[in-house]
Amino acid sequence: MQFSDIKGQHQAIHILQCAIQNKHIAHAYLFTGPEGIGKKMTAFALAQYLNCSAPNQQEFSSCNGCPSCIQASCGSHPDILLLEPDGASIKIEQIRTLLSKVALRNYESAYKIIIINDVHLMTEQAANCLLKTLEEPTDNTIFILVTAKVQNLPITILSRCQQIQFQSLSPALIQEILQQLYPQRQSQIGLMAALAKGSVHTAEELLANEEISLTRQEFYQLLTNLATVTPAQIISWCQQWDKNKKMVKALLELAQLWFHDLLLSTTSGQWQLILNQDYLAQLKSQQIQPEQLLKILQYFQTGMSQLESNASPRLVLEIALLKTQAAFAA
């Protein structure tokens, strides 16, 4: 893993490279930011570089050919240790086992590097067990803690680490990455990148989620026929999402993208820019004024706020759709 393999995290990587250049590498880092944006990949890139026998110091790249790099690439490096949750948490037994390995002398490497992924899932006992080692680290040992929920970590852990914030990725960058990974899914990639909230991991989950795909098909059929269906049919369709907050949130987001596409195409005529390219014909069949589209977008944005305030998911969706239907009739 190379620093150059990490997309969209120039600031975080620059901080690490400056620390390497100035020989001010911290004994403990905390990589924070949303899931699926490259935090763990960066941890492995840093570990591989620091233990490389012949790094390119000008380009901050490891050689990929020395025994250390080969072992790191295969995930079998004895001095690069990865700890992940066992089920729903990181348990004290896992930390104790890890620390027993930390206490051993390095095999051949300059550094022993410990990467703890989803560190916010440590139990209180596990966190307390790790704390002493973070306070008094052994020489040439670096901890890299990775989390998407920094607010769940105790202040005692936070205060002993140098925190590096990773940024959400832009939809355009996510789309570029997905196009390389899933060339056969081109028609859906733009939409999933927009729904992914800055995370490649989330975008991949959406692409793989058959339920989302099928529900999107049903929902977009409903939106296409919104001017002709009855209010009773809308209410009936919404009943299946009575307590499914996660799915209703996804539907509200899909609706916003649908009507944003309509607004974009209506005001600019540039149909090639819309995200729902696989529903181009259905979008072209809908005729509604930009003023009404702005109102409709507000209905679904209000629905998102209500959902976050623990309103009934079904009622939130019903109200937004019924108001939208009324806007079509206006």
CATH number, domain containing residue 255: 1.20.272.10
Cα separation of the two ends of the chain: 57
Q: Please check whether residue 154 is in contact with residue 121, taking contact to mean a CB–CB distance below 8 angstroms.
A: no
User: In this structure, are 41 and 154 located in the same domain?
Assistant: yes
So what's the pLDDT on residue 235?
94
So what's the pLDDT on residue 242?
86
Q: Which residue segment(s) compose the domain that 194 sits in?
A: 170-208
User: In this structure, are 218 and 88 located in the same domain?
Assistant: no
Dihedral sign computed on CA atoms, order 60, 77, 67, 139: positive
User: In this structure, are 317 and 248 located in the same domain?
Assistant: yes
So what's the pLDDT on residue 239?
92
User: In this structure, are 191 and 295 located in the same domain?
Assistant: no
DSSP 153: S
So what's the pLDDT on residue 126?
95
- Our count of domains for the chain comes to 3
User: In this structure, are 215 and 203 located in the same domain?
Assistant: no
Type of residue numbered 28:
A
What are the residues whose beta carbons fall under 8 Å from the beta carbon of 260, sequence distance 6 or more?
275, 297
pLDDT along the chain (330 residues), means of 10: 91 95 94 93 96 91 93 92 93 95 85 95 94 85 95 93 94 89 80 83 81 86 92 94 87 91 87 82 88 94 90 94 90
So what's the pLDDT on residue 272?
80
So what's the pLDDT on residue 52?
94
User: In this structure, are 306 and 234 located in the same domain?
Assistant: yes
So what's the pLDDT on residue 43?
97
Q: For position 121, which CATH number holds?
A: 3.40.50.300
User: In this structure, are 231 and 317 located in the same domain?
Assistant: yes
So what's the pLDDT on residue 190?
81
Global pTM value: 0.73
User: In this structure, are 188 and 293 located in the same domain?
Assistant: no
What are the residues whose beta carbons fall under 8 Å from the beta carbon of 10, sequence distance 6 or more?
none
User: In this structure, are 255 and 174 located in the same domain?
Assistant: no
